[in-house]
């Protein structure tokens, strides 16, 4: 088993007054040849956006884009005609396909928004852009992994154009969970809240870890914790 830790304070940084962003992988002006991507996981940005600010209308193509709102609200508009305000604890999905325009703003005039922006490289090129959301409060359970997105849309997950399974994990203090991965796949864990132990390594909010060369991993919460787990071809 090979475990590699990506500590929160080692990530790249973008600060623009209205935006404070941490980059797990190379993004924008932050370029690091040692941290370009992990399997098909290309972008994992930890964004804080000030009230009334955001990302203006811009384009994407050939990217599977997930946004998970940790705190606050995120307002989304796109060229497909979608206009939504995503609430804390909810997940948004957009497949850019052959091309799409969108904007992301903090609609609040008083509270910042904290969200994760995730890009997964698709296993097909082009296609019609598409959009989905998932309100997770009613579908996630303590001390379990909930499949949020997958290449085949199983277990009521969002079907994406990538050979990737994206799980949300929630653990009570002292609880543990094991995830089994097929041979040749890679696992990435990103901690959102709390502290977890991963195969002897302690991870705090913002920390990430890659795992390769194993059939299964065990995560144990040192305190109540939430995290994302990516199982990638």
* Residues composing the chain: 233
Could you give the maximum distance between any two Cα atoms of the chain, in Å?
A: 48
**CA 6/CA 24 separation, integer angstroms:** 8
Tens-digit pLDDT profile for residues 119-165: 999 999 999 999 999 988 767 889 999 999 999 999 999 999 999 99
Domain end call among 113, 135, 157: 135
3-state class of 44 per DSSP?
A: strand
Q: What is the pLDDT of residues 35-63, one digit of tens each?
A: 999 999 999 999 999 999 999 999 999 99
pLDDT at 75 over 90: yes
Of 29, 41, 32, the closest CA to residue 10 belongs to 32
Token pair of 101 as six digits: 């325009």
In SS3 terms, 20-42 reads as EEEECCCECCECCCCCCCECCEE
Domain-embedded: residue 192: yes
Partners of 27 in beta bridges: 30
Q: What is the pLDDT of residues 198-222, one digit of tens each?
A: 999 999 999 999 999 978 999 999 9
Using CA atoms, how far apart are residues 125 and 114, in angstroms rounded to an integer? Answer: 31
The helix/strand/coil state of 63 is: coil
Instruction: Say yes or no: 74 and 102 in one domain.
Output: yes
| 32 & 98 share domain | yes
> What is d(CA 156, CA 126) in angstroms, rounded to the nearest whole number?
24
CATH of residue 31's domain is: 2.60.120.10
Q: Is the Cβ–Cβ distance between 169 and 229 less than 8 Å? A: yes
176 part of a folded domain: yes
Query: What is the rounded CA–CA span in Å between residue 121 and residue 14?
Result: 22
Q: pTM for the full model?
A: 0.97
Same domain? For 119 and 165 the reply is no
Q: Which residue has the tokens 């904290």?
A: 114
* 32 and 123 housed in the same domain: yes
Identify the domain containing residue 210 by its residue range: 144-232
Number of domains in the chain: 2
pLDDT greater than 80 at residue 34: yes
Task: Give yes or no: residues 87 and 158 share one domain.
Answer: no
């Amino acid at each position: 088993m090979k475990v590699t830790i990506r500590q929160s304070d080692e990530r790249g940084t973008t600060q623009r007054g209205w935006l404070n962003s941490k980059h797990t992988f190379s993004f924008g002006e932050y370029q690091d040849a040692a941290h370009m991507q992990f399997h098909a996981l290309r972008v994992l940005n930890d964004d804080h956006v000030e009230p009334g600010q955001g990302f203006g209308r811009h384009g994407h193509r050939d990217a599977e884009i997930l946004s998970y709102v940790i705190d606050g609200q995120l307002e989304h508009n796109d060229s497909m005609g979608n206009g939504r305000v995503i609430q804390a604890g909810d997940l948004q999905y957009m497949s850019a396909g052959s091309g799409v325009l969108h904007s992301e703003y903090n609609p609040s005039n008083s509270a910042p928004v904290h969200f994760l922006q995730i890009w997964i490289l698709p296993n097909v090129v082009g296609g019609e852009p598409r959009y989905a959301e998932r309100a997770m409060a009613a579908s996630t359970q303590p001390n379990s992994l909930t499949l949020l997105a997958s290449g085949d849309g199983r277990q009521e997950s969002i079907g994406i154009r990538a050979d990737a399974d994206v799980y949300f994990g929630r653990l009570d203090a002292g609880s543990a969970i094991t995830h089994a991965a097929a041979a040749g796949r890679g696992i990435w864990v990103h901690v959102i809240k709390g502290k977890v132990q991963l195969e002897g390594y302690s991870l705090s909010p913002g920390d990430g870890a890659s795992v390769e060369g194993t059939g299964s991993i065990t995560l144990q919460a040192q305190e109540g914790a939430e995290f994302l787990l990516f199982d990638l071809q």
